[in-house]
Structure 1
Amino acid sequence: MRQGPLAGRYPAVAAMVTLALIPYLALSAALDPLVPVISAQLHMSAQAMSLSSGLGNAAYAVGTVLAVQFAQHLPQRRMLLLYAVVLVIGSVLAASAVNAGMFISGHVLQGAATSMLLIAAAPPLTIGFPRDKLRYTAVIMNMCVFGAVALGPFIGGAQAETQTWRPLFWIIAAIAVLALVMAALTFEDAPPADLDAPRDLPAIALAAVGCGAAFIGAAQLTTHGFGDAAVTIPMFGGLALIVALIVYQFLSPRPLLTVRTMLTSAIPVAGVGVALFAAAASVSATALTANLLLETYNPVHVGLLYLPELAGAIVMAVVFGIVITRKAMHYLPLVGMILLAAGILVFRIAIPGNQPLILVGSALTGLALGATVAPALFVAGFSLQSNSLQRVFAIIELLRAVAAFMVAPIFVHFAVTASTDLLSGTGDALWLGFGLAIGGAVFGIAIYALSGARPQRPNLDEFLDGDDPAWYSPPLLAKLRRGLPPPAAAPVQVSAAAESNGQVFTSPVLFAYDGSELAGCAIRQAAAQLAPQRDALVACVWQPVDVGFTPTDSQHFDADRAGEVKRAAERTAAHGAALAEKAGFRARSVAVEGVPTWKGIVSAADEHNASLIVLGPHRRNGLLGHLQGSVAAAVVAHSATPVLIVPELPVEH
């Protein structure tokens, strides 16, 4: 399996995820103060700019569904590279745009690529590393999404002050290029997640048409009234199609998205609900107050007033990293909703010009952002098996995009048109946002209470193994439903040491076998160099999501489920042991979980007291090949056991 020089290294993979998610999310929050500048230079109307944002947000929502479908049938890490290329293309198109068509096309590609990168890269970062990394992942995910959004108003205001927009867009393009480079450096070839999964074209069509129509309808509010057919037909028609998507996935025997399990279990429903309420209320509050403040202050001044949001998001991201291993994480979204309600209330009191209070409201909103959406997402994800995480992220991000980016234009339109002046309208709209925040908190508490759910400490070992959730989530509204069976006791996991037909193996030769022909060739060539009937241990190193080896049989498995990957690795190792037996060794096999691959090889050699490690390095071709590192070189550098490198035999012509 091809690997980059930084494959399996947590800091590098985390940096890749950060660079991939920041460009579009920061830019989407920075656009508002830049609209007049871009409109003037590209001869775009306000309606065209609104449509550009709407289509970009629709592409972001649809990209979540596309990424899940592609992951089932196409090599996952190669697709991640492709998404990064699309992000670069979209960013360059937008930055170099000379007309509205180029700008809108680039923004749409940015939106689609960002959500596909999120769905492709976030689960490997979450479940592909040991549990001690999970708290860092929580901080990173929180900061990538909400830290970038919180920073957006300031960088947008600072750029608008110069009456230019391209420098910011070229910086965004440069970050996208860095994301592509890191995706190549951390590349670790991985097979499709589940070749047996259906190709769900109706789900993709419903998501694409529904999101596209709904966001286009909301974008029309820039120049049309709420009751105009240009608004109501696409917006409500699109929302109806999104509802139809959820119903269709709920009823489907083999759904693309994890809807049925998520919507019939109490804790996921509470988590998703809180996330949607928080997204709608927080984005609306920021958009409403910024729209009013821009009437009085210049863009950079307004951006500075919102800078405490970033500080609040950072603080709460750290708090989330601390509590993610404790039952206190159940309470964090509730605390966030209370902080959000307080922040909106402070904004309502502060407008139109009490700047100290606006800074306080901004800080409270930042704390609320960090405490609600990402923690609520993980609360929902921990309630399901980890192999569902990609699908859980997809459906939540789709719904969050609809809640956040559709409600805000509606609230802004209400503020402009519902009262005689903008100040009164904004105040009334903020009261609606306050109601959403309180409603979200009440919703979460009610679901827990009426379902008999209780805060629990997550069992992260069970969750990361992929076979069980991190905690028990009762059926939705279980206390109101009679005749439900009691919760089944969690199965007891029993492990036993592997037997080898009574044979005793001491100081074996360790063959690192990844199922490739090159690894098999290394076994056969080593037989000619070593004494016959020597003890051998054939080790296949594996990891969830990225897999790490090439299966030697045609049996399909779910790459996101650790248990299935392990069993496939055991079959692959057994195949390698059979090759070693045929070559004259007394062989046994073992599957070793390890990230990166070289670390699994070294640990297996140490654990089994191997006298020699045998490796067959892979040929590296093309641009990616030149970027790739060598597992063999890493093993030599880190192992105290002698290493035999068996070169690939030349191809005969």
Structure 2
Amino acid sequence: MQKTDPEGALPDRLFARVSYGGTAFAALAALVPFLFAEGAISLIAPSISGGLGTGKDAVSLASYLGTGAYAFGALMGGDLVRRFPQRSLFLAVQALSTLGWAILSASHGVWLFALAQILVGFAGGALLVIALPPLLQKFPAGKIPTSAFLVNFGLFGAVAAGPLIGGVVAMAEGAGWRWFFALFSVTGSIALLAAARHLPGGPPKEPDRSVDWTAIGLTLAATLLPFTAIGLIPYQGLLSPAVLLLLVTGLGCFCAFVVNQYVAREPLAPIDEALNTFSLMGLIVATIGGGVFVTCVSLLTTLRKGQEGGVLELGLSFWPQLLGVVVAAGLFAAVIRTRMLLPFVLSGLAAILAGPLLLTFGGLTDDGLFALSIFVIGYGAGATVSPGLLFSAVSMPVKLLAGVIAMIELSRAIGNFLAAPILIDASRIAHASASLEMPGAQLALTVLLAITSAGVLAALLLYVTGRRGLVRAEFEPWIANGKPAFDSPRLFARLRK
């Protein structure tokens, strides 16, 4: 009699070659496309608007709705992966993503384009949470450094490469953007085949878990409302009552979600368990690192689009950023199983402060200093976001991994992708300018530096008061027995009696 797959759905012969390489490819092919498109969209928006017969602002609004769907999808992925078989869920959501990219490439109206953006955004966020856990916990601990490099490069290498590829696609004009999105649909189809063949299976951990409709409703409002508000800024302005109402209501719903999850008996996001030194420090580090990266890229792209040179030259000018991410990803893989992991993260915190500082003192006008600045920012993002996520995730039991990733990505997406357009428009208003110019960019960078400094100080305060020196992650018991890889101290342990 033929054996069945652990998920009890399909025969073993279809899944006889579970492999690390196939799983890694499927995970990266699932994660990269949406983040790639996020980094490129501002440069290819004029081509898209021409192809759809609409304005650039409508394309921007559709893109922000997709980003909101990404944040919502991250939380839903953390919920669904506990209640449904992981591989079956991956295949279903990846098929949804593949369909979404196909619709995007064939869209001939802004409404269909917006619907497809929401589809690929939701699938992208959910796939991040569904695809990463098998890569980290289903294979021997010796694979962790390779996984660290791939995840780090996949997450931020894609965003960093976005402007480069966006410049090339924009130069193609015409239907270039359609081929760009169609390529992601083809990649998704290949990822489906790889996942069906190589992704590890297993039953769901909590198949009888009840649906937390309150948390889902609050998350939907916390993502839909503020991202809609950001998309409406070109139409109504940042200070319009409608935009402010949507922003405040959405952020209020996010705060209500955090409180709800803290007191919930079966939370989607493990807020209570995350209140230890390394988990909270990791969340702060990942959020501020991603925030600096996304804000600087958006600000520089907006500013330099109005300067001399074509869109291809603009896109190619961001190549040092990708190099910085690659360097950080390589170092992350080298130190992840050593006591140098924490100093590496601290170097990332220093870099995300130094990058905007270099831009403020000459990097906006001097090409050489600009290249150095964005290299440092790329390195800083690579040394903070994925390492911060790791710090949070492995400081808690492995059973909470999906929930931790969902919690961090939801928080990071809301904070990171809202900050940039708000800062840019507020700086433009402060200088009474119709577009972002040099004085406004300087102001935005100054505010960004102030916020970043506060975040860095908070992370350092947590570490100093945590009563713990350099630590080494113990991945073997984390994978085998589900125990935390870090012995994380209680919050402010040094100050407790």
TM-score when normalising by structure 2? 0.93
- Residues 1:450 and 2:460 are matched in the alignment: no
CA distance in 1, matches of 2:191, 2:429: 42
What's the counterpart of residue 221 of structure 1?
A: 233
What's the counterpart of residue 34 of structure 1?
A: 44
Secondary structure class of the residue paired with 1:327: coil
Q: Which runs of 5+ in 1 are unaligned?
A: 483-653
CA distance in 1, matches of 2:407, 2:294: 19
Q: Which amino acid aligns with 2:110?
A: A
2:248 to 226, 236, 239: 236
Question: How far apart are 1:346 and its partner, in Å?
Answer: 1.9
Change (3 A) 1:33 1:467: closer
CA distance in 2, matches of 1:194, 1:476: 29
- Residues 1:268 and 2:279 are matched in the alignment: yes
RCO higher in 1 or 2 (8 Å CA, sep ≥ 6)? 2
2:297 to 263, 269, 286: 286
What's the counterpart of residue 382 of structure 1?
A: 394
**2:322 touches 2:378 (CA, 8 Å); kept in 1?**
yes
CA distance in 1, matches of 2:385, 2:202: 30
Deviations 1:497-525 (A, max 9, x none): xxxxxxxxxxxxxxxxxxxxxxxxxxxxx
**1:329 touches 1:379 (CA, 8 Å); kept in 2?**
no
TM-score when normalising by structure 1? 0.72
Q: In the TM superposition, what are the counterparts of 1:103-142 in structure 2 within 5 Å?
A: 103-142=113-152
Q: Which amino acid aligns with 1:63?
A: G
Q: Which amino acid aligns with 1:265?
A: N
Q: Which amino acid aligns with 2:182?
A: W
Q: Which amino acid aligns with 1:378?
A: L
2:84 to 68, 74, 79: 74
2:195 to 162, 172, 183: 183
What's the counterpart of residue 8 of structure 2?
A: none
Q: In the TM superposition, what are the counterparts of 1:499-518 in structure 2 within 5 Å?
A: none
Q: Which amino acid aligns with 2:400?
A: S
**1:387 touches 1:466 (CA, 8 Å); kept in 2?**
no
CA distance in 2, matches of 1:275, 1:443: 13
What's the counterpart of residue 59 of structure 1?
A: 69
Secondary structure class of the residue paired with 2:340: helix
Secondary structure class of the residue paired with 1:331: helix
**2:98 touches 2:185 (CA, 8 Å); kept in 1?**
yes
Question: How far apart are 1:341 and its partner, in Å?
Answer: 1.6
Change (3 A) 1:43 1:106: same
Question: How far apart are 1:157 and its partner, in Å?
Answer: 0.9
Deviations 1:302-327 (A, max 9, x none): 11111111111111101001111012
Q: In the TM superposition, what are the counterparts of 1:121-520 in structure 2 within 5 Å?
A: 121-164=131-174, 165-262=177-274, 264-296=275-307, 297-421=309-433, 422-482=437-497
Between 473-482 and 208-217, report the one with greater CA deviation.
473-482
Q: After the TM superposition, which segments of 4 or more aligned residues of structure 1 sit over 6 Å from their partners?
A: none
What's the counterpart of residue 565 of structure 1?
A: none
Deviations 1:558-599 (A, max 9, x none): xxxxxxxxxxxxxxxxxxxxxxxxxxxxxxxxxxxxxxxxxx
**2:229 touches 2:244 (CA, 8 Å); kept in 1?**
yes
CA distance in 1, matches of 2:333, 2:363: 34
CA distance in 2, matches of 1:51, 1:311: 31
Question: How far apart are 1:329 and its partner, in Å?
Answer: 1.1
Question: How far apart are 1:397 and its partner, in Å?
Answer: 0.5
CA distance in 2, matches of 1:324, 1:293: 37
CA distance in 2, matches of 1:467, 1:160: 47
Between 16-25 and 174-183, report the one with greater CA deviation.
174-183
CA distance in 1, matches of 2:195, 2:221: 31
Structure with max Cα Rg: 1
Q: How many residues align?
A: 481
**1:333 touches 1:373 (CA, 8 Å); kept in 2?**
no
- Residues 1:91 and 2:138 are matched in the alignment: no
Q: Which amino acid aligns with 1:438?
A: S
Question: How far apart are 1:133 and its partner, in Å?
Answer: 0.3
Secondary structure class of the residue paired with 1:451: coil
Secondary structure class of the residue paired with 2:236: coil
Q: Which amino acid aligns with 2:454?
A: G
CA distance in 1, matches of 2:311, 2:468: 46
Deviations 1:114-149 (A, max 9, x none): 111111110011011000001111011101110000
Greater share of helix: 2
Between 332-341 and 26-35, report the one with greater CA deviation.
332-341
Deviations 1:190-224 (A, max 9, x none): 22221243321211111112211111112222233
**1:7 touches 1:13 (CA, 8 Å); kept in 2?**
no
**2:138 touches 2:200 (CA, 8 Å); kept in 1?**
no
Question: How far apart are 1:340 and its partner, in Å?
Answer: 1.6
CA distance in 2, matches of 1:435, 1:6: 54
**1:91 touches 1:172 (CA, 8 Å); kept in 2?**
yes
What's the counterpart of residue 112 of structure 2?
A: 102
Secondary structure class of the residue paired with 2:46: helix
Secondary structure class of the residue paired with 1:115: helix
CA distance in 2, matches of 1:276, 1:455: 22
Greater share of strand: 1
**2:30 touches 2:191 (CA, 8 Å); kept in 1?**
yes
Q: Which amino acid aligns with 1:431?
A: T
Secondary structure class of the residue paired with 1:260: coil
CA distance in 2, matches of 1:467, 1:41: 51
Secondary structure class of the residue paired with 2:450: helix
Question: How far apart are 1:273 and its partner, in Å?
Answer: 0.8
Question: How far apart are 1:368 and its partner, in Å?
Answer: 0.8
Question: How far apart are 1:334 and its partner, in Å?
Answer: 1.8
**1:289 touches 1:351 (CA, 8 Å); kept in 2?**
no
Q: In the TM superposition, what are the counterparts of 1:547-562 in structure 2 within 5 Å?
A: none
Question: How far apart are 1:188 and its partner, in Å?
Answer: 4.3
Q: Which runs of 5+ in 2 are unaligned?
A: 6-10
CA distance in 2, matches of 1:454, 1:443: 17
CA distance in 1, matches of 2:376, 2:90: 35
CA distance in 2, matches of 1:130, 1:449: 33
**1:381 touches 1:392 (CA, 8 Å); kept in 2?**
yes
Kindly report the root-mean-square deviation, in angstroms, between the aligned alpha carbons of the 2 structures. 1.6
